[in-house]
A and B are shown apart, each in its own frame.
Chain A
Amino acid sequence: MTDLGSIALWIALLIAGWGSAVAFVGGIKGRAELAASAERAVYVVWGLMLVASAGLIRALLTHDFNIEYVASYTSRNLPLYYTWSAFYAGQKGSLLFWALVVSTFGTFALAANRGKYRELLPYVAGVVCAVVFFFVLVMVFTANPFERLPFTPADGNGLNPQLQNPGMTIHPPMLYLGYTSITIPFAFAVAALVSGRLDTGWIHAIRRWTLLSWLFLSCGIVLGMWWAYVELGWGGFWAWDPVENASFLPWLTMTAFLHSVMIQEKRGMLKKWNLGLIVGSFVLSIFGTFITRSGVIASVHSFTQSGVGYYFLVFLVVSAVAGFALLWWRWPRLEAESQLESMVSREAAFLFNNLIFIVIAFSVLWGTLFPILSEWIKGTKVTVGPPFFNQVNVPLGLLLLFLTGVGPLVAWRQASTANLRRQFLWPLAALALTVVALVALRMPDGWAIAAFGLSAFVVGTVTQEFVRGTGARMRLHQENPVMALGRLIGRNRRRYGGYIVHLGIVMLFVGFAGQAFRVDQEATLRPGQAAEIRSPYGHTYRLVHQGVSQYEQLNRFVSAASVDVYRDDVFTGALKSEKRQHLNSLGRPTFEPSTEVGIRSDVREDLYIVYAGSVEGTEEAVYRFTITPLVWWVWYGGMVLVAGGLVAMWPGGGGPTAASRRRAEPAGYVAQVAG
C-alpha cells in the first residue's frame, strides 16, 4: 500500500506534467483532443493523489515506523484523532495534503463547469496540473512522505504536544484549504487572459470559489488565533508573527477582490485591478507557504529550514512573472466601460475600501520583509514588531470599519443628499451616542472609543437594512416578520450574507478593541495564599491558590495547579492550569513540558491563568493571571462571519427571478448587484 503510494506520486508527476503541457498547446492551437486529454489528466491525478493519501494514512494508522514520516510524527500511544492529524502536521505530509486538495478542487471545478466556458476549461486544467506538478515534484525529489528508514524503530517520536490540541486538528487544514483553493480563481484568471475571453464569464465561474477560499482562510486564521490563545500561554491571539502575517496577506487581497468584483459586475470598471488581485492573491498564498517552510524569516511557527524553500521561491517567481506578464499582455483590452462619477457614491466607497485593503497588505508585507530588506540595503537586520503593525493598521482598520458602514448603503454613481440623510441619519446617531456615552464613562483609550463608536455605526446601518427590508416584504407580500426576514435573507443571499459577515467583522473589532484594556499580574503563591487583581470593569478578583496535584493521564504526566476564583468576594468557581510532560510508550519523557492554561470566559471578559511552575518541588506555585475584556467577541465574531459567508455562498437565491423581483421593490434599498 505504501509502495503503491510512492508509485502513485511518480505517475502523478508524469501525468500532471503532461496535462499542463498539452492543455496550453491544445488550447492555443485549438486542438480539442489535447484539451480534453488535459482535463482527463486532472481527474487521473486526483485519483492518484487519493491513492497516495490513502497509502500515507494507512501507514500512520498501522504505525508503520519504517516510514520516516510516520516515525517522526506519531507514536503508539498517540490518540487516534491526532494520529490522523499527523497527515498534515509535518512538512512532507502537508505537501501531499496540499496536492490532494488542489487536485480535488480542480476536479470539482472542471466537473461543475462541464459544458460551460469551453474556451476557458483547458487552461484551467492546465494551471491545476501545473500546480499539482510542482507539489509532487517537491515531494518526489526532496520531501517524500513515503521515504523509508534503513531500520524500523520500536516506536515513533510522537506528535509535538502543542499540536495535540483539538483546534490544531482543524486549523492547518482550513488554512491549507484556503491557500489551495485560490488556485481555482487563479486558474480561471489565467484562462481568461490566455484565451482572451475577458468578459465577465470568468468572474461568474469563480464567484463561489473566491468566497469559498476566503471562508476557508477566515476559518483558518480565526482557529489559529484561538489555538494561539489557548495553547501558547501568553494571553494574546495575534502577535504579527511572519507566519501569521503570511496567512493574513492573501486574506486581505481576497477580501478586496470580493468587494471590487461587484464594481466590475455592476459598472464594468476595475477589470485590470480584479485580475491583478486574483493573481496577487495566488502569489501571496505561495509566498505564505514559502515563508512558513523556508526559514528565511525567523518565526516561532515555522517548519525547520529545508531545501523545500528554494523550490517555493522558484515557483513563487515563476507564477508571479507569468501571471503579471499575461495581465500586461492583455492590458489594452481591459479598459473600463465607465468612469467614476462622484466621490459620494458606492463606487468611490469601494475604491477606497480596496485601496485601504491593499495599503494594509503592503504595510504588513513591508513589515514582514523588513529584516531582509534592511539587510540588503543597510547591511544590518532590523526587525519591527507589534508596535509598528498596530501603529499603521489601527487607523487603517478603523477607516475600513467606517467604510463597512458606508459602502453597502450609499447609492451607485452619485448619492443625493436625500439618499445620504435617509441611509445614515440613524447610524450616525448611534455612533455619536456611543462615543458620548463612552467618554462620559471615562473610557481611557481613544482608539477603543473610535472602534466602539464605528462598530455602533455599522451595526446601525446593518440593522436598518434588515428592518427596512423585512418591513418592505411584510407590506408587499403580507408576510409575518419572521417569514419576511427569513425570505429576505433567503432571496438575497449574497447581499444579506454580506451584511452578516459585516456584523461578524464588527464583533471582531469589538474583541480587538478589548485588548487595549488587558491587565497582567504575576504571583508566587503558597497554598491558601491569594492574589488580587482588578478587572478593567472595576471588579476585584481574588484568586486563592489551592495546591498542585500530580497524576498520569493518557500519554502524559500532569501537574495541575488550581485556584478558587472570587469576584468581589463572591465565589465563582475553580480554575486550573496544567504542566504536562508527555511520555512515550516506554514511559520516558518526550518533548519539553507543555502548559495548559485555565480560562474562564464570558461576554464581558476572560480570566486567563497560567501555572508557570513550582518552587523547588513544593506546592508554592508561580502563576500569571491575565484579564482581557471582550475576547469572547473574537471567537463568536468569527463564527458569525463564517455563517454569513455560508449564506452568501449557498447556491441559488440570486438568479434572474430574484433580480427581477428586486427591481419591483423600493429603490434605494434595492441598489444591489444582480446575482
Chain B
Amino acid sequence: MKAGAKFAVGGALILVTVGYLMASGIKETGVYYLTPAELSEKVRVDGRIYDAGIKIGARVVRGSIQRDVASQTITFRVSDGVASYPVIYRGLAPDTFTDEAEVVVEGRLQRDGTFRATTLLAKCGSRFEAAPQQAGA
C-alpha cells in the first residue's frame, strides 16, 4: 500500500473515532437550552422532559432571591415574562447574580414543578458594557 493511502486510512480512523466521540458526547451530555415558556410547552407535550438535562435561560424575578447562608441554599424564581419557575440551587452564587440578572441555570425539572439547579451562571448586562442609560437616551 502506498504511503498516501496509508495516511488516508490512518486519517479516516481518527475521523471515525472522533465522529463517534462527538456523537456520543452530544447524546450523553447535551442538554436542552430553553426559555421558561419553551419549557412549559415541552412539559405539556413531552413527559420525558423530567429525565433530561435542561438549561433555562431567563431573568431573576425581582425580590425573589432567598439565601440561606447556613445551608448554602439559594431559592429564586426565573421568568421570561411568559412562564416562571422556582429554582433551588445549593452552592455559591457568582457575584453577578442579583435581581433581574440574566441567568442560566442547569439541572433537572422536578415533578413538583421546581427546578433543581446544579450550576448557576449569571450574566450581567453591565459586565462589559454598561446597561443603556435611560437618562442619556
Contact = CB atoms under 8 A, between A and B. Distances in A.
B31 A383 contact: yes
A591 B96 CA distance: 9
Interface stretch (B7-15, B80-88, B108-116): B7-15
Contact of A522 (B34, B72, B98): B72
A553 interface: no
Contacts of A387: 25, 28-29
B14 A370 contact: no
Nearest to A362: B18
Contact of B21 (A157, A299, A391): A391
Given A340-B3, A348-B7, A380-B34, A72 B130 contact: yes
Nearest to A595: B95
B29 A385 contact: yes
A622 B92 CA distance: 9
A234 B22 CA distance: 27
Interface in A291-311: 298-304, 306
A90 interface: yes
Given A300-B123, A355-B11, A91 B129 contact: yes
Contacts of A340: 3-4, 7
Given A89-B128, A343-B3, A385 B91 contact: no
Interface stretch (A455-463, A613-621, A652-660): A613-621
Given A149-B136, A622-B92, A343 B7 contact: yes
A341 B6 CA distance: 10
Nearest to B31: A383
B77 interface: no
A624 interface: yes
A339 interface: yes
B134 interface: no
A384 B51 CA distance: 17
B11 A592 contact: no
B69 A304 contact: no
A175 to B, nearest CB: 13
Contacts of A343: 3, 6-7, 10
Contacts of A160: 126-128
A202 interface: no
Contacts of A12: none
A72, A352, A374, A522 — most chain B CB neighbours (10 Å):
A72
A388 B72 CA distance: 29
B69 A616 contact: yes
Given A303-B129, A343-B7, A380 B32 contact: yes
Given A163-B128, A396-B18, A615-B70, A382 B32 contact: yes
B130 to A, nearest CB: 4
B78 interface: no
A73 B17 CA distance: 48
Nearest to A363: B22
B121 interface: yes
Contacts of B28: 387
A304 B29 contact: no
Contacts of B92: 233, 522, 610, 612, 622, 624
B104 interface: yes
A304 B25 contact: no
Contacts of A90: 128-130
Nearest to B71: A524
Interface string A143-173: 0000001110100010010110000000000
A348 B3 contact: yes
Contacts of A302: 123, 128
B34 A381 contact: yes
B55 interface: yes
Given A89-B128, A388-B26, A392-B22, A298 B7 contact: no
Contacts of A616: 69
Contact of A303 (B72, B104, B128): B128
A593 B18 CA distance: 43
A634 interface: no
Contacts of B95: 162, 233, 592-595
A163, A342, A382, A395 — most chain B CB neighbours (10 Å):
A382
Nearest to A339: B4
A605 interface: no
A351 interface: yes
Contact of A384 (B14, B18, B30, B70): B30
A394 B97 CA distance: 32
A163, A370, A391 — most chain B CB neighbours (10 Å):
A391
A371 B35 CA distance: 13
B124 interface: yes
B26 A355 contact: no
Contacts of A108: none
B25 A392 contact: yes
Contacts of B11: 351-352, 355
Contacts of A44: none
Nearest to B131: A304
B107 interface: no
B76 interface: no
A366 interface: yes
Interface of B: 3-4, 6-7, 10-11, 14-15, 17-18, 21-22, 24-26, 28-34, 38, 42, 55, 57, 67, 69-70, 72, 91-92, 94-98, 104, 106, 121-131, 133, 135-136
11 contacts: A91-B128, A153-B136, A298-B33, A298-B123, A339-B3, A352-B10, A370-B30, A387-B29, A388-B22, A524-B69, A592-B98
Closest 7 CB pairs of A and B: A381-B33, A388-B25, A387-B29, A304-B129, A72-B130, A612-B92, A340-B3
Given A343-B6, A384-B25, A622-B72, 5 more contacts: A298-B33, A304-B125, A380-B33, A395-B17, A522-B72
